[in-house]
A = this chain, B = another copy of it.
Amino acid sequence: MTRTLCSALPTHARTGPVTVAGWIHRRRQLANVTFVVLRDRSGLAQIVVTEPQVREQVSRLPEETVVRVTGTASANAKAPGGVEIIDPTVHALSAPAEPTPVELWRPALGVGLPTALDHAAITWRHPARQAVWQIAAASLAGFRRHLDGAGFTEVTTPKIVGGSTESGANVFALDYFGKTAYLAQSPQLYKQMLTGVFERVYEVGPVFRAEPHDTARHLAEYVSLDVEFGFVDDHRDVLALLRTVLAAMVDAIREKAGAAVETIGVELPVVPERIPVVHFEEALELVGARPTEPDLAPEHERFLGKWAKERFDSDFLAVEGYPAVKRPFYTHPQPGDARWTNSFDLLFRGLELVTGGQRLHNHADYLTALAARGADPAEYAPYLEAMRHGMPPHGGFAIGLERWVARVIEAGNVREATLFPRDIHRLHP
């Protein structure tokens, strides 16, 4: 008999026998009846066991054992979905499960983050945890769907690279057949080279940062949603595309992970028609920092996040014009004042979520920028080759998937939105 998903049971009420399969999420053995709540990828279903022989069988199948159940779907307003299964036969598909390190049937996990992460393969089974990742998966789908529709080409670029991407700091080194290689900190140089090929490219892939930070928002490996495209006027075109990408991601969450949003009780952000923008110089004034500060501190970002919410009723705020001294060599200067750049950070609920901007596109400008930093152009030869042979004005951005999801669900720690996080202390599971 074909399997019915728990979520589809209501359409099967009183139509004859149905078969469901999944994990025994909860088992309650009362005096004359055993209630089993079954969990599958679609949700939960209640099974009512009264037949003594089946009750005896179920008594030997602890929670998390995997079973297939055939019975009759029967309306019961008190059951999840308004339907339960009665008169079941039960077939165990796994050996009886051993007691889990956390009780997954409880409404909340009720353990600290380190314990949850130590037992990630089990704790992600909890419906409230599953829901977090369903939001992540929907975000990925929305990101790609929007860009596919806008003429972008998906690319995949190497994660083992011969030189560090942006600076020599915080890279993981490895032995590569006797040579030293590095794990890519970003696909930045490759996505620019490929903008010279396909005009519009995106990549979803891991990036690696050997940053010895032990904070709630840093990971040593995370998923970067990278976009780069040509024929822009300046960074404002990049910000405009970013706005539509974020809106598409929110739409996809609503559409594909609506149940997850309800399970967690998330209020989805509204991406405004125009994301408010302040210049870095103005941002420093707003937060009361000295005008020579080269960067915004986390508390500045939080302040600006609140300010944008109050002033523009926006969860998003773009800070443009970041000082050239703090931006990578490929950043395009602000026309007329090279202290500043055509780049931005996007703050989402007071936390930096995206860095983007316009890049240099002429070979001579790259040579000047590298010389100003004392960098050797020879180290960037294959990249500079693209610039030497005709590149359009271009720009792009990168969204950190886990940060995005953590902010959407208002989690305090980015690790809550990461299936198997990697940080300075954590290499397992």
Contact indicator B221/A94 (Cβ below 8 Å) = no
Q: Mark A115-159, 1 if CB is under 8 A from B, else 0.
A: 000011110110000100110110011001000100101111111
Q: A65-B390, A130-B198, A190-B420 are in contact. Are A154 and B125 (CB under 8 A)?
A: no
Q: What chain B residues lie within 8 Å of A158 (beta carbons)? A: 206, 221, 420-422
| Cβ contacts under 8 Å, A134 to chain B | 153
Q: Does A326 contact B (CB under 8 A)?
A: no
Copy count, this protein chain: 2
User: Which of A80-88, A173-181, A261-269, A290-298 lines the interface with chain B?
Assistant: A173-181
Tell whether, in the assembled complex, residue A179 and residue B427 are in contact, meaning their CB atoms are under 8 Å apart: yes
Residues of B within 8 A of A197 (CB): 121, 124-125, 130, 133
Report the separation of the CA atoms of residues A24 and B181 in the bound assembly, to the nearest whole angstrom.
36
Contacts of A133 in B (CB 8 A): 153, 155, 197-198
B154 to A385, Cβ gap below 8 A?
A: no
B122 contacts A385, C-beta separation under 8 Å: yes
B181 with A389: CB separation less than 8 A = no
Cross-chain contact B208 with A205 (CB below 8 angstroms): no
Contact flag A41-B200 (CB < 8 Å), given A153-B133, A177-B210, A220-B160: yes
Within 8 Å by CB of A427, from B140, B144, B160, lies: B160
Docked-complex contact A382 and B120, CB < 8 angstroms? yes
Q: Which residues of B contact A204 (CB under 8 A)?
A: 204
Complex alpha-carbon distance, A382 and B196, angstroms: 44
Q: Tell me whether A362 is interfacial, beta carbon within 8 Å.
A: yes
Q: Is the CB of A173 within 8 A of B174?
A: yes
Answer whether residue A29 sits at the interface, using C-beta atoms and an 8 A cutoff. no
CB-nearest residue of chain B relative to A206? B159
**A362: nearest residue on chain B (CB-CB)?**
B95
Residue of B at shortest CB range from A61?
A: B390
Contacts of A161 in B (CB 8 A): 427
A262 to B343, CA, bound (A): 40
**A18, chain B: closest CB distance, angstroms:** 15
CB pair A390–B97 under 8 Å, yes or no, is yes
Interface residues of A in 54-96 (CB under 8 A from B): 64-66, 93-95
| Pair B231/A198 contact, Cβ less than 8 Å | no
Residue from the list B156, B205, B206 in contact with A419, Cβ < 8 A? B156
| Residue A47 CB within 8 A of the other chain | no
The answer to whether A174 touches B177 (Cβ under 8 A) is no
The digit string for A165-206, where 1 denotes a CB below 8 A from any CB of B, is: 000000011111101010100000010011011111000111
A162 at the B interface (CB under 8 A): yes
A121 partner, pick from B65, B230, B382, beta carbons under 8 A: B382
Asked whether B391 lies within 8 Å of A66 as measured between CB atoms, the reply is: yes
Min CB–CB distance A424 → chain B (angstroms): 5
Q: Are A429 and B120 in contact (CB under 8 A)?
A: no
Which 4 A-B pairs give the minimum distances between C-beta atoms?
A382-B429, A97-B390, A64-B390, A121-B193
Q: A156-B401, A179-B427 are in contact. List 12 more A-B contacts (CB 8 A).
A: A23-B390, A40-B199, A97-B388, A100-B389, A101-B385, A155-B419, A159-B159, A161-B427, A172-B176, A177-B425, A190-B420, A383-B429
| Between-chain CB contacts (< 8 Å), 27 pairs | A5-B151, A22-B199, A41-B198, A94-B392, A95-B363, A98-B388, A119-B382, A121-B193, A121-B194, A121-B385, A122-B196, A130-B198, A133-B197, A141-B148, A159-B159, A160-B172, A160-B208, A160-B221, A162-B427, A173-B174, A174-B174, A190-B420, A193-B429, A204-B204, A205-B205, A381-B429, A385-B429
